[in-house]
């Protein structure tokens, strides 16, 4: 059985790897000149491995079971960050403790669980009777992470797996998260074709036919593992069922960006949120067990990115991040900015759970259509938006294809 996989991010490569292990012939078509998709590791200072940054997905959290198993399979390891992704010191707003923000978060999560469908996160948070500074810091954190304003976010995001506010450990793949994609691609060998964007997909009862600049690639089935923003404009003939297309259009697209600046002197591990700025910053350890000489930053929402003037480059955000962290000696002139919503092969940072979604959409997003199967973090339900979700979705798509082959046989 020949399967064509579109996209060499975590989802596509995981699907291709599991299909290969299942005895399928696989071809992976990737638009970029690298593998990894929205997972992208790079040395901030070329030649200095202590400055490896994650320009895309970064943190590995304590319930990433599929990723953990895959790392063992590939001979890769995790490195502790010495800081907690979950807990951040709020600054720039009214004084408030991390404990007060955590208390607010717990209350909102419980209230969100009882809220009717169609309730926004902003509506639930507005009912908090505690300190206004705590809810301001909470909403800043949530909007930064989700990449969408609280008025458009579903209250359900308050119960998300990454929304904990207590101090818990976090990790990164030692040497860079993109190594997962690089090693998988290495094992797949010439099956992975870079700089091969798919322009259109045709499918019928005999197979699938994918148009590229180099010609048509044919298979018995296809796994399409591209971001939702890209999937929306990909021509598929005959057209998929209207309910599927409608669910795609309802899927929320997050707006996020990342910034990295070298540090001129050592710093301890840390995590600090700019409450009004809708961005947070951190310093974290690398594979040596020492804190990297790098200040990292992550911002969210269209309004937040506009205020940071990311469309004009890193200068405005670099200055604001340095002002937020006066205790650090950041080299603003060497700041590196990464945006995803203007990337033609991404169009989004990841999916977001907004009020536009309808009941049942997660199942529709993950459902196959004839010989076409779908993978990507946006199909991962509870795990959407995460590296773990991308890997789970690829594994699920591969299982679907292999199950279908067994039924035919």
Render each residue's pLDDT in the chain as its tens digit; 409 residues.
999 999 999 999 999 999 999 999 999 999 999 999 999 999 999 999 999 999 999 999 989 999 999 999 999 999 999 999 999 999 999 999 988 999 999 999 999 999 999 999 999 999 999 999 999 999 999 999 999 999 999 999 998 745 578 888 999 999 999 999 999 999 999 999 999 999 999 999 899 999 999 999 999 999 999 999 999 999 999 999 999 999 999 999 999 999 999 999 999 999 999 999 999 999 999 989 999 999 999 999 999 999 999 999 999 999 999 999 999 999 999 999 999 999 999 999 999 999 999 999 999 999 999 999 999 999 999 999 999 999 999 999 999 999 987 654 3
CB atoms inside a 10 Å sphere around CB 358: 12
Per-residue pLDDT, 296? 98
Q: What is the model's pLDDT at position 406?
A: 60
Q: Where in the chain is the domain with CATH 3.50.50.60?
A: 2-37+178-252+358-408
The whole-number pLDDT of residue 409 equals: 33
Q: What is the pLDDT of residue 162?
A: 52
Per-residue model confidence (pLDDT) at position 248: 97
Provide the pLDDT for residue 392: 98
Instruction: Provide the whole-model pTM.
Output: 0.96
pLDDT at 159: 81
**Domain 2-37+178-252+358-408 is of which CATH architecture?**
3-Layer(bba) Sandwich (3.50)
Within the chain, all domains assigned CATH 3.90.660 are found at 49-63+82-173+253-339
Determine the pLDDT at residue 76.
98
Query: In the numeric block, which tokens belong to residue 14?
Result: 């995981």
**Is 49-63+82-173+253-339 in CATH node 3.10.450?**
no
pLDDT for position 110: 93
Q: Other C-beta atoms within 10 Å of 323: how many?
A: 12
Residue 42 bridge partners (DSSP) = 53
Q: Given this model, what pLDDT does residue 161 score? A: 46
């Amino acid at each position: 059985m020949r399967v064509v996989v579109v996209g060499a991010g975590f989802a596509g490569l995981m699907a291709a790897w599991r299909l290969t292990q299942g005895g399928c012939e696989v071809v992976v078509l990737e638009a970029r000149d690298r593998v990894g998709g929205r997972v992208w590791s790079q040395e901030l200072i070329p030649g200095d491995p202590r400055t490896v940054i994650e320009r895309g997905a970064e943190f590995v959290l304590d319930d990433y079971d599929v990723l953990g198993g895959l790392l063992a399979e590939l001979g890769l390891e995790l490195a502790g960050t010495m800081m907690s992704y979950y807990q951040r010191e709020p600054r720039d707003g009214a004084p408030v403790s991390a404990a007060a923000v955590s208390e607010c978060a717990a209350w909102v999560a419980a209230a969100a669980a009882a809220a009717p469908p169609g309730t926004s996160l902003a509506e639930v948070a507005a009912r908090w009777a505690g300190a206004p500074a705590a809810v301001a810091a909470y909403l800043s954190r949530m909007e930064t992470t989700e990449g969408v304003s609280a008025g458009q976010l579903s209250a359900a995001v308050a119960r998300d797996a990454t929304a904990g506010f207590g101090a818990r450990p976090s990790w990164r793949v030692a040497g860079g998260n993109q190594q997962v994609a690089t090693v998988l691609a290495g094992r797949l060998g010439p099956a992975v074709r870079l700089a091969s964007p798919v322009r259109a997909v045709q499918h019928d009862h005999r197979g699938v036919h994918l148009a590229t600049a180099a010609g048509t690639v044919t298979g018995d089935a296809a796994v399409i593992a591209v971001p939702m923003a890209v999937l929306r404009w990909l021509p598929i003939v005959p057209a998929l069922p209207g309910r599927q297309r409608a669910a795609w259009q309802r899927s929320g697209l997050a707006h996020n960006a990342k910034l990295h600046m070298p540090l001129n002197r050592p710093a301890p591990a840390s995590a600090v949120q700019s409450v009004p700025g809708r961005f947070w910053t951190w310093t974290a350890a690398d594979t040596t067990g020492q804190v990297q000489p790098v200040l990292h930053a992550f911002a969210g929402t269209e309004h937040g990115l506009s205020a940071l003037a990311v469309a004009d480059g890193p200068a405005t955000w670099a200055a604001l991040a340095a002002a937020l962290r006066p205790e650090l000696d950041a080299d603003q002139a060497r700041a590196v900015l990464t945006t995803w919503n203007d990337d033609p092969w991404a169009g989004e940072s990841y999916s977001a759970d907004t009020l536009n979604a309808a009941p049942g959409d997660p199942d529709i997003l993950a459902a196959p259509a004839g010989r076409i199967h779908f993978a990507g973090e946006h199909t991962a339900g509870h795990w959407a938006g995460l590296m773990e979700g991308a890997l789970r979705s690829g594994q699920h798509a591969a299982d679907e294809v292999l199950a279908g082959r067994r039924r035919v046989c």
